[in-house]
Amino acid sequence: MKKTFFTLAVIAFCAGGALAQGISGGIKVGANFANQKFSGDGFDVSPSSRTSLHGGLFLTVMVSETFGIQPELLYNSVGSKFDIAGADYVYQLDYVTLPIMLRYNPVPIFNIHLGPQFGFLMSAKAKYDGDSEDIKDGYKGLDLGAGIGLGVDLPMGLGLSARYVIGLSNIAEEADAEESLKNNTVQLAVSYKLFGK
């Protein structure tokens, strides 16, 4: 399954590169406002959001003046937080994610982007009162999501973006047919181009 996703990503990148009008790339870092949605047996539960970080590399391949593709390779820390009897229980899930965003530039400095995101679980921990427990076995290794966002290209290679990533797959390793656990994340980021315009 993982090999299939990476193969599709490489094909999409090569196809875009063959027709490219302009290629640029760089680094991006930002904040995650992450949460999870639990559902099953007729109930939905959303705990408190967990603030964390994401960061990594991006490549923008424009196939015309207005359309392009933007694959990214990011570290993403997500999860959620519960307040139980005045104490915080924090669930921290760390992923390496591969968003592949289709990019539309209605004007040169502004872009709208959307596309799939593939997340590969690196670690999962439950934290409470200074203690940490490894809970990686309770989660699936692959998380499929969909992202939609807005971006602004600023002078000197800087950029700002906001994105919402909604979880599409049930990440719980063992769940009944009617139960699901999904990641949802709001991302705010600043980027810097290392090459290209």
So what's the pLDDT on residue 159? 97
Which DSSP state fits 196?
Answer: -
- Indicate the domain borders of the chain: 2-195
pTM of the model: 0.84
Residue 162 CA to residue 188 CA, distance in Å, equals 5
pLDDT digit string, tens, across residues 65-75: 999 999 999 99
So what's the pLDDT on residue 42? 63
| Amino acid found at 176 | D
So what's the pLDDT on residue 88? 81
So what's the pLDDT on residue 30? 98
First to last CA, the chain: 35
DSSP 31-82: EEEEEEEEEETTEEE--B-EEEEEEEEEEEEESSSSEEEEEEEEEEEEEEEE
Write out the CATH class of domain 2-195: mainly beta
So what's the pLDDT on residue 18? 44
Which DSSP state fits 137?
Answer: G
pLDDT averages per 10-residue partition of the chain, 197 residues: 53 48 94 90 75 97 96 97 80 97 96 98 92 93 98 96 97 78 96 94
